[in-house]
A and B are shown apart, each in its own frame.
Chain A
Amino acid sequence: MKLAELAPAELKHRLHGAGLCLRTGPFTVRIRSRIPAVEEALALLYAEHPVLEEPVFCDFTVRVFRPLGLRRFFRPQVRFAFDDTEPFKPLPYDHAFPMLEWGLNWAVTQHAHWFLILHAAVIEKGGRAALLPAPPGSGKSTLTAALVQRGWRLLSDELALIDPASGLVHGLARPVNLKNASVELLRAWAPEAVFGPPARDTRKGLVAHMRPPADSVARMDEPARPAWVIFPRYVPASPPRLTPHARGHALLEFARNGFNYSVLGEVGYDTLVRLIAACDCYDFTYSRLTDALAVFDGLAHGG
């Protein structure tokens, strides 16, 4: 059953009680929360994700909740718990859903060491995946959101999960986290896209999440073969420019930014070598999404 098929009263009942059990790619997660904004955002942004019925084992159990005491009334806050631990400091109450999303990212990166987890967006077309590693502010999520609204499949906007045994990249198909001006840009680019309510004044500025395309969620169990590593960079007024990126440097950049590379040791290195050897690596500068789409589609069509 999809979350969209769950009656609102049942969604509330589960979130308030034993938890809503969702599957996102290879992970099952149990979410508990009494915060209405979390309930609404889950219903909207995870509408296409499968809901699991009890009894079920979940990989992660998380809770987003309002602390007791004066903080209920004075500058209310929200807290995130993974099992019984709270890895983060509280955030303002209206950042509850972004906190859940950041917390789920944290849970995956801290625990799923059967994957090599790289900091990169992943999209796929024709069975071949493009990994987009980039620092914040490079336009990685904007580009990802734009491309998945025009025929590319979303695997992740943040976490590339590489299976060391097969070399394939696995997807999560979770909401895409957009920031600041990118939100309006994407609304104009894809009027049919569904966005959650914006959270203002987060540490990343204004944040809003875009619902993953239904097809990406439907195919989230389908891994893809890495074919390209593309370092995107948004440069105002720049023409689109795709230039080769040396592969030794690409490997080193992934190693520096891998979430669990140091945990995996030689398995992580061997997996990275295999990944880079299988990929063409590029730098990509762009300013217009239409140009970016043409360049990416050209790659997918063998141009």
Chain B
Amino acid sequence: MSGPRWRIAPEVRLAAWEDGYTVFHTPSGDTHLLDPFAGQVLSCLQNGPMGLEALALALMDRPLAALGSDERAAMETALAALERVHLVLVSP
């Protein structure tokens, strides 16, 4: 399978709440409140590194090709946001 793959950063602790997920990143000491979708993305990555295809199946129960452009954009936006705060790492 080609394309980038994302994995959860080491030493991340995640808790689910009705309004989203809280995350503690031990290396930085930062605490974040993620919206429910970004939290689900991170929660999926707890099972192991994934590419967009695997994430689409895990999150939306459909293959990537079957997603609407807004759904794919939502996944990519969430991954970019998680990467910016060092909660996920990407490998090409």
- Chain A residues packing against B (C-beta within 8 Å): 246-249, 251-252, 255, 261-262, 265-266, 269-270, 273, 276-277
Chain A nearest CB: distance from B9 CB in Å? 14
Please tell me if the beta carbons of A248 and B22 are within 8 angstroms of each other in the complex. yes
Instruction: Indicate with 1 or 0, residue by residue over B6-21, a CB within 8 angstroms of chain A CB atoms.
Output: 0000010101011111
Residue from A246, A248, A252, A266 with most neighbouring chain B CB atoms (10 Å) = A248
Count: A-B pairs, CB below 8 Å = 43
30 contacts between A and B (CB under 8 A): A246-B17, A246-B18, A246-B19, A246-B20, A247-B17, A247-B19, A248-B17, A248-B18, A248-B19, A248-B20, A248-B21, A248-B22, A248-B33, A249-B19, A251-B15, A251-B22, A251-B31, A252-B31, A255-B31, A265-B29, A266-B11, A266-B13, A266-B26, A269-B22, A269-B24, A269-B31, A270-B13, A273-B13, A273-B15, A277-B15
**What residues of A have a CB within 8 angstroms of the CB of B11 in the complex?**
266
Main secondary structure of the interface of A (DSSP, over half): helix
Q: Type the 1/0 row for B26-69, where 1 means its CB is closer than 8 Å to any CB of A.
A: 10010101000000000000000000000000000000000000
Contacts of B29 in A (CB 8 A): 262, 265
In the complex formed, the residue of A with least CB distance to B36 is: A248
Among A251, A270, A277, max chain B CB count under 10 A is at: A251
Contact indicator per residue, chain B 70-88, by CB within 8 Å of chain A (1) or not (0):
0000000000000000000
Known A-B contacts A266-B13, A269-B13; the reply to A249 vs B26 at CB < 8 A is no
For B26, give its contact among A247, A248, A255, A265 (CB under 8 Å). A265
CA distance A252 to B22 in the complex (A): 8
Give 16 A-B pairs besides A246-B18, A247-B17, A251-B22 with Cβ atoms closer than 8 angstroms: A246-B17, A248-B18, A248-B22, A248-B33, A251-B33, A252-B22, A252-B31, A261-B31, A262-B29, A265-B29, A266-B26, A269-B24, A269-B31, A270-B13, A273-B13, A276-B17
